[in-house]
Amino acid sequence: MPPRNRRPTPPPAAGPLNEAALITDQFLAAGYTKRHVATIIGRDPSLVSQFHTHHKGAAFVEGLRHALTALHTAGITDPTELAAIAAPHITRRTTRTGTQARVRHRSVLITPQGSGTGRAGAQAIASGATRLRPLIAEAARRGLKLAFTVRMPATAYTLASGSRLDSPGVRRDVVQRADRTEERSYGSSSTGGFDAADFAGRVDAAGGDVSAAVQQWLLETDRIHEWALISHLEIRTWRPR
């Protein structure tokens, strides 16, 4: 079977960079990533790349400028706080007919009923599984409960597989995989789960590192060894009855 033709990477746009790209470069120079900039403007990271390649981003200039000012003058560094500052200054572009254009937003984190799920694999966990932080923050804002499933080497756990001391009341078998890792779940709707607000506090204390917050809880409760590392993580939310 012949290999698929890969879409070539678009070359940088000719000519000088537009203002959105220039401001983005200032964020990058300050240690942020394009994903952080996407969080600040509430759009997909692929759009931020197009500031440089397709001269896009005019609608976000004012918001980015206010966020950059807050960073330099007020010392506000958290992307979600910068996003709150930028939001009032971001306008939706209009179509030729004058209606607001559709934009690519992030997928819905939590349904109106309170149900939400987020997953992070090894690559995302290496950078702190920060993609799960908005899910936890939104769950905390709504007063929801959460549970999580972790995957790590079977020898990393201190308690035997299926032990009720490990995760009492969870009616889910331990998933044992061929690579000698295990998935174990903590919290459920039947046991009450974890208070999302409390867990959001743990994430904040860990500097936004979701995997570190989960790992710290597992260590504090003597469920894993000191050297254990999470390879996969899933967060689930629901509204308590």
- Which residues, 6 or more positions from 222, have their beta carbon under 8 angstroms from its beta carbon? 158
Show the tokens assigned to 184: 């174990």
116 within 8 A of 236, measured Cβ to Cβ: yes
> Residue 105 has what pLDDT?
45
How high is the mean pLDDT in each 10-residue block of the chain (241 residues)? 50 73 93 90 85 88 91 85 85 65 55 85 83 89 92 91 70 69 86 89 91 94 93 91 81
Residue 102 DSSP code: P
Show the tokens assigned to 14: 């000719």
Q: Where are the alpha helices (DSSP H) in the chain?
A: 19-29, 34-41, 45-53, 61-69, 79-86, 122-126, 133-142, 196-205, 210-220
3-state class of 221 per DSSP?
A: coil
Q: Which residue has the tokens 């470069």?
A: 25
Cα maximum dimension of the chain: 64
CB atoms within 10 A of CB 86: 24
96 within 8 A of 55, measured Cβ to Cβ: no
Which stretch of DSSP H or E encloses residue 145? strand 145-153
